[in-house]
Chain A
Amino acid sequence: GQNIDQPTEMTATEGAIVQINCTYQTSGFNGLFWYQQHAGEAPTFLSYNVLDGLEEKGRFSSFLSRSKGYSYLLLKELQMKDSASYLCAVRDPGNTPLVFGKGTRLSVIA
């Protein structure tokens, strides 16, 4: 099974950089996803890591260390619209659905 931990809430200032951490304990591993979810809306895909290292996509980057069971999502040049929950999800090997962490609610303040 999977156990996924993320901070419950974070606050950051507009224009700043914020790092949201995710740690996981798993019996196997076949990829880690980050989703963004605005209040009352559907989660939307942000990033995917299956190999160690950094994946960059515009203002967002995601990092994975499989040996440490650790990932982070880095958001640069924060904007007010980045206020949302960020969900870390892990996939086991084989035919299993994603397992989601409880999410980190990010508030961007002026």
Chain B
Amino acid sequence: DADVTQTPRNRITKTGKRIMLECSQTKGHDRMYWYRQDPGLGLRLIYYSFDVKDINKGEISDGYSVSRQAQAKFSLSLESAIPNQTALYFCATSDPDRGRETQYFGPGTRLLVL
């Protein structure tokens, strides 16, 4: 079974709709992240959380919100989707107690906003 899972894997929505992307992990890591990836722009950080009570904005948080419901769950919401939010979204986790603190990524959610 995958350690970091994302649902849905693919989503098509319309401009103005609210959608939620979900991330769950069984790695027992405290730290979780949401990135988006666009062709030519690489991975850009949206939000991150170092524990259940900690939420931090990343490089491109406008138009997004997050919820850390439990250590294992971190959700990303688009309150009113717009076409330029079409992208590949990745959730990631890390463990600060493990020396180099490698980030582990989920399989991604491909979002298309029409």
Contacts and interface: CB of A to CB of B under 8 A. Distances in A.
Interface of A: 8, 31, 33, 40-45, 48, 50, 87, 89, 91, 95, 97-103
Interface of B: 33, 35, 40-45, 48, 50, 58, 88, 90, 96, 100-108, 110
Given A97-B33, A100-B42, A43 B102 contact: no
Nearest to A98: B103
Contacts of A48: 100, 102
A50 B99 CA distance: 11
A42 B89 CA distance: 10
Contact of B108 (A41, A91, A103): A41
Contacts of B58: 97
Given A42-B90, A43-B90, A97-B58, A103 B42 contact: yes
